[in-house]
């Protein structure tokens, strides 16, 4: 399997780029267009997940899956958020460029005016935190000598404090509107996140010229 991935990553064909679906897609597609990559295919109503774009192959995947495709060599390059890369810090990928798009923040939030989380930590020495990002959460609290019990949730974490499942949440926010509409407020900021260009390590060694050229085009498009 590793030999097959290495062969794909170092092949003679054009670069393969893993593009994130979802809320980040529009900004990524606009940036790619500005860099000379035709995104008409992925922007269309087609149900296809793989598109040819002027010598480059685009594959559309969930943002959280981008590092998996890149590490394995199924894609030479990928674009995903810093939050995803921080959560999957064990993935062996090369972070090449901060694209500056899709800005958001990872925050600790609790019910407005609720002293519960702080009281819970003071009396019991820990808080119960609901999150989709257990690795980031554990690491952040551990570095501050604070103990937490993680409740991992795949869906809307904002509900957890409202029904007593958790004392607080750690989640990604852009405008903070969803927090406010659910009666939650930011207590602490954990990290800032923007979209990043990442590369497969083997690809970056064997296709350095092509990858550096593409990264330069993105940099010019950002500027």
Is the pLDDT reported for residue 1 higher than 50?
no
Kindly report, residue by residue over 175-210, the tens digit of the pLDDT: 989 999 999 999 999 999 999 999 999 999 999 999
Domain with CATH 3.40.190.10 in the chain: 2-103+194-222, 104-192
Provide the pLDDT for residue 10: 38
> What tokens appear for 146 in the block?
């604070």
Query: What is the CATH superfamily name and number for domain 2-103+194-222?
Result: Periplasmic binding protein-like II (3.40.190.10)
Per residue in 96-144, pLDDT (tens digit) is 999 999 999 999 999 998 876 666 666 666 789 999 999 999 999 999 8
* Nearest alpha carbon to residue 69 among 199, 195, 193, 194: 199
Task: Identify the residue whose tokens are 């519960």.
Answer: 116
pTM value? 0.87
Query: Structure tokens of 102?
Result: 């899709």
> How many Å apart are CA 75 and CA 160, to the nearest integer?
36
Q: What average pLDDT does range 61-87 have in this prediction?
A: 97
Helix axes 208-222, 25-34, angle to 10 degrees: 100
CATH number of the structural domain 104-192? 3.40.190.10
**Residue 80 token pair:** 């995903």
């Amino acid at each position: 399997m590793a030999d097959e991935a290495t062969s794909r990553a170092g092949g003679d064909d054009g670069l393969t780029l893993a593009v994130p679906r979802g809320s980040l897609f529009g900004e990524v597609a606009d940036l790619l267009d500005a860099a000379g990559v035709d995104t008409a295919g992925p922007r269309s109503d087609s149900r296809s997940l793989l598109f040819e774009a002027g010598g480059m192959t685009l594959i559309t995947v969930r943002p959280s899956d981008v590092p998996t495709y890149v590490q394995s060599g199924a894609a030479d390059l990928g674009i995903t958020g810093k939050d995803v890369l921080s959560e999957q810090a064990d993935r062996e990928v090369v972070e090449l460029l901060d694209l500056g798009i899709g800005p958001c923040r990872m925050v600790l939030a609790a019910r407005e005016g609720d002293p519960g989380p702080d009281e819970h930590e003071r009396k019991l020495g820990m808080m119960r935190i609901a999150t989709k990002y257990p690795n980031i959460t554990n690491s952040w609290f551990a570095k501050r000598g604070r103990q937490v019990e993680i409740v991992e949730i795949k869906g809307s974490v904002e509900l957890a404090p409202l029904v007593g499942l958790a004392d607080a949440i750690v989640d990604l926010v852009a405008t903070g509107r969803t927090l406010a509409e659910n009666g939650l407020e930011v207590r602490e900021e954990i990290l800032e996140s923007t979209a990043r260009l990442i590369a497969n390590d083997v690809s970056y060694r064997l296709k350095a010229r092509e990858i550096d050229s593409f990264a330069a085009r993105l940099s010019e498009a950002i500027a």
